[in-house]
Chains A and B, each alone.
Chain A
Amino acid sequence: MADVRGLDRSALVSKVLIYIVMAIFTILAIYPILWLVIQSFKTTQDYLLNSKLGLPQQWFFQNYLQSWKRGNFSMLISNSLIYTSVTVVSIIVFGFMAGFAFAKIPNKATPFLSGSFIIGILLTLQSIMVPLFLMVNAVGLYNTRIGILIPYIGIGLPMGVYLSTEYIRSIPDALVESARIDGAKYLKIFSAIIVPMAAPVAVTVAIMTVTGTWNEFMLVNILASSDKIKSIPVGIARFSGALASDYGKQFAALVIGLIPMLVFYIIFRKQITKGVAAGAVKG
């Protein structure tokens, strides 16, 4: 009897210990973000004079209004929306078309072409930033929306092509064949059979592209000089550089920049984590 009870107690202790460990890591993960939100309601004076870990002496909402105006966030957000939506739509359309061709219309060039896309998945964007900048410059697209969108689509496309190829390959060949025998052209097969069946992979690709594009900083930073075409991350970096000592407004700007992705994450949490796991194992 005593033995069993001893076992119970040690099991309980280890269970509590494990919960404590998990709780610590969870708090570590979200505390900085919570801290930021709390500080964003302080005036700069309040932040500098009082403890930086405490609550605001009075909740000050003006920070948000002011930094929204000063940072021109309505423009930044609309730019980010344009970049993200155009990139997502193009990647899905082109990715599906390429995926269909790779999976169902094989020819001699297929291994080479699909192989070059695979390399694109694994190549790090940072390593080609200077040549990319020089190329965009050479064709006269520096500081234009097109000049930002084309690289974005090019960067996202390999993953989109890869995922849709894999998915379309799993659609039975018999389906495509029977449609062909009935006299359907490739375009008809594509729109009537492939597109409706491959909808789930489109969701995955869209979600991965949104997270990648929305947060992208480096490319816009080097390819855009005018404020009119900058996206949120670049805008925030610039804004906080200019207002480095005005903490209240700076924190409010960071929170504004954080909210869209946070909402997106809360909605698509499951799909995002699934996509990460799948992408990493395959990559």
Chain B
Amino acid sequence: MAFPTVFSVVLSLTNYNGGKIFGNPEIGFAGLISYIKTFKDEYFYLALKNNMYIVAVSVFGQIPLGFVLAYILSRGLVRGCDFFQSMIYLPNVISTVVIGILFQSFFLNSNSVYMEIVRIFKPGAEFTLNENPMLPILFVILWMYTGMYVIIFLANLQKIDTGIIEATKIDGANELQTLVYIIIPALSGVLVTSAILAISGSLKAFDLIYVMTQGGPARRTNVLSIYMYDKAFRGAPNYPLANAISTIMVIISFILIVITKAVEKRFGGKE
């Protein structure tokens, strides 16, 4: 895993563009040209912005939702905790490709379920993806991965000493006070970790978007990984540029790793 990273940094600094890699006289040092090109490309920022949308959905959608569901399950407010947990996690184990195509039929063409419902209100409506093309993708991401956060929070909620919660109850604290003063502080480390997980998850988003929209229409649903894929595999390959994007993504990952480690230290390392 470390070697491809180094390899990518080196290639991103050259003008390599196909053909033999080793002992090829045409390869020369090109410096930071690929990086400058990347930072000048408006589509790079579009892709970055879409990555941010995915992060936002995770941080403001999945994490609160996952927390609420996990909280309900952990406090024993409903029976069948195991059943609910399994059902909500189910979308996670199914291939992203299957899910992508499934939701494409659900939303993204003129024969979709979504259009059928729209036509009830507006007969003869035509399918278009020009308004908010990221919306269906964000919905599917929310649908798929909320279960993961439920599991994570639930595992950590169950670690909290029930004695403490009982003690606060005896002292006259209500449900809300227990939540705010005992449970949320105990989970702060996990919350931060989840937020980081959300960012690295957005870097991973590839399969789903590749299957659902291929980054279209007009590259408006590109994320960084799709943007890189386009540069390398669609049309004329531009490997230096793709490698430059790869390096940028790796740097983002590394920053996240460092933050995670720092958080772990700060909150006493959850082994």
Contact = CB atoms under 8 A, between A and B. Distances in A.
A236 B225 CA distance: 21
B270 interface: yes
Q: Which of B94, B143, B156, B211 has the most CB of A within 10 A?
A: B94
A214 B250 CA distance: 25
A134 B95 contact: no
A22 B84 contact: yes
B2 A120 contact: yes
Contact of B154 (A22, A28, A277): A277
Contacts of A39: 105
Question: In terms of DSSP, what is the predominant structure of the interface of chain A?
Answer: helix
B36 interface: no
Given A22-B84, A247-B111, A277-B151, A132 B116 contact: no
A30 B87 contact: yes
Given A22-B84, A26-B88, A265-B93, A32 B101 contact: no
Contacts of A132: 4
Contacts of A242: none
A53 B257 CA distance: 45
B190 to A, nearest CB: 7
Contact of B152 (A53, A214, A250, A276): A276
A123 B256 CA distance: 9
Contacts of B88: 25-26, 29
A22 B81 CA distance: 10
Contact of A281 (B4, B190, B249, B257): B190
Contact of B116 (A51, A126, A221): A51
A53 B113 contact: yes
B126 interface: no
A211 B1 contact: no
B89 interface: yes
Given A21-B72, A129-B229, A254 B101 contact: yes
Contact of B21 (A32, A120, A138): A138
Contacts of A221: 210
A216 to B, nearest CB: 9
Given A122-B260, A233-B95, A128 B155 contact: no
Interface string A162-206: 000000000000000000000000000000000000000000000
A273 B1 contact: no
B120 to A, nearest CB: 10
**Interface size of B as a range:** 35 or more
A119 B72 contact: no
Most chain B beta carbons < 10 A, residue from A15, A116, A119, A264 = A119
A211 B92 CA distance: 10
A28 B84 CA distance: 12
Contacts of B89: 272-273, 276
Contacts of B112: 52
Nearest to A273: B151
Interface in B84-110: 84-99, 101-103, 105-106
B165 interface: no
A222 interface: yes
Given A29-B88, A282-B271, A217 B4 contact: no
A254 B102 contact: yes
A174 B140 CA distance: 52
A127 interface: yes
Given A32-B103, A32-B106, A236-B97, A129 B2 contact: no
Contacts of A261: 93-95
B206 A126 contact: yes
A106 interface: no
A146 B216 CA distance: 33
16 contacts: A29-B143, A35-B113, A47-B111, A52-B116, A53-B113, A127-B253, A129-B232, A134-B21, A134-B239, A158-B1, A236-B101, A251-B105, A262-B94, A274-B155, A276-B148, A281-B152
Interface of A: 15, 18-19, 21-22, 25-26, 28-30, 32-33, 35-36, 39, 47-48, 51-53, 116, 119-120, 122-135, 138, 154-155, 158, 211, 214-215, 217-218, 221-222, 232-234, 236-237, 240, 247, 250-251, 254, 257-258, 261-262, 264-265, 269, 272-274, 276-278, 280-283
Given A119-B257, A124-B203, A258-B98, 18 more contacts: A15-B78, A26-B88, A29-B87, A116-B2, A120-B1, A126-B249, A127-B249, A130-B242, A130-B243, A130-B246, A134-B7, A215-B97, A217-B96, A217-B97, A236-B98, A262-B93, A265-B93, A269-B86
Interface of B: 1-5, 7-8, 11, 20-22, 69, 72-73, 77-78, 84-99, 101-103, 105-106, 111-113, 116, 143, 147-148, 151-152, 154-156, 190, 193-194, 197, 200, 203-207, 210-211, 225, 228-229, 231-233, 239, 242-243, 245-246, 249-250, 252-254, 256-257, 260, 270-271
